[in-house]
Amino acid sequence: MSQYVLEVNHLNKCYGKNKENQFHVLKDVAFHIEAGEFVGIMGPSGAGKTTLLNVISTLDQPTSGTIEIAGTNITTMKQNQLADFRSQQLGFIFQDFNLLENLTVYENIALPLSLQGVATKQIKPSVLKVANNLGIQDILTKYPAEISGGQKQRVAAARALIHEPAMILADEPTGSLDSKNAKSLMETLVHMNENLGTSIMLVTHDPLSASYCKRILFIQDGQLYKEIYRNHTRNEFHQNILDVLAEFNTLSELN
């Protein structure tokens, strides 16, 4: 069994059927994420971050190359198999929470297990455990409209965790939060990663959010441009990230 929770090899994604009009979004991308790692994906607008996230999350198919998640090659699976795999092995945290307003916090968190047909009596201890881990056990009977933005993101994180997926994919999760709630959410993700052993891939444009990761992969024009590791304090890592983003600005000016 591979120690990698995610293994991406020679990944290409083109749009357009006519070769002359093809748009090459991802170009021979290769990287891996180890089980229990917290990795960020960054790059300028249009670099291919969203496309990469979409093909890894099984929402889009690559033109060529392979993606293995928890030892399973998802690039050879049929659509119905992908839907099952996605619901069982992947957890998602979105920028806009995606909570259902007519369901309580408890029901929102329980939703992935309910959709899998798990028995109600088995769902309750799972919800209570994850809610307790994320400090939201006191709001389980409330509805999304009755809780703060920071609490909504914790509920979204709990829903992503409830079925114990192989990996969490977080897409700009702090994009709609103020600085206080963004900090709180990133600390929650660090808690999930360090205390619960959750593997996380975070796509973000925000250097401060990215500084909570252990490693950052930078994408430029559909290719891996550089990777950096957090070897020192988070403040120093934040500065390292800013330095690489400044390189991007210099490159775009030269082009």
pLDDT tens readout for residues 195-237: 989 999 999 999 999 999 999 999 999 999 999 999 989 999 9
Provide the pLDDT confidence category of residue 253 given band limits of 50, 70 and 90. Answer: low
Per-residue pLDDT, averaged over 232-246, amounts to: 93
pTM assigned to the model: 0.92
Residue 181's pLDDT is: 85
Sign of CA dihedral 14, 84, 56, 184: positive
Whether 1 shows a pLDDT value over 60: the answer reads no
Per the model's pLDDT, the better-predicted residue between 252 and 109 turns out to be: 109
| Mean of pLDDT values over 181-189 | 90
Beta bridge partners of 136: none
Contacts of 129 by beta carbon, 8 Å cutoff, 6+ apart: none
pLDDT at site 190 = 94
Q: Would you place residue 2 in the very low, low, confident or very high pLDDT band (cuts 50, 70, 90)? A: low
Question: Is the sign of the CA dihedral 230, 171, 12, 225 positive or negative?
Answer: negative
pLDDT greater than 70 at residue 19:
no
Which pLDDT value is given to residue 95? 83
For residue 18, pLDDT over 80 is answered with no
pLDDT tens across 139-183, in order? Answer: 999 999 999 888 998 999 999 999 999 999 999 988 888 888 889
Cα–Cα distance for residue pair 217/40, rounded to 1 Å: 6
Per-residue DSSP letter, 237: H
pLDDT at 242 over 80: yes
Determine the topology of domain 4-254 in CATH: Rossmann fold (3.40.50)
Q: What is the pLDDT of residues 44-93, one digit of tens each?
A: 888 899 999 999 999 999 999 999 999 999 999 998 899 899 999 999 99
pLDDT of residue 26: 95
| 162 contact partners, CB below 8 Å, separation of at least 6 | 91, 109, 110, 112, 113, 126, 127, 130
**Which residue would you say has higher pLDDT here, 118 or 2?**
118
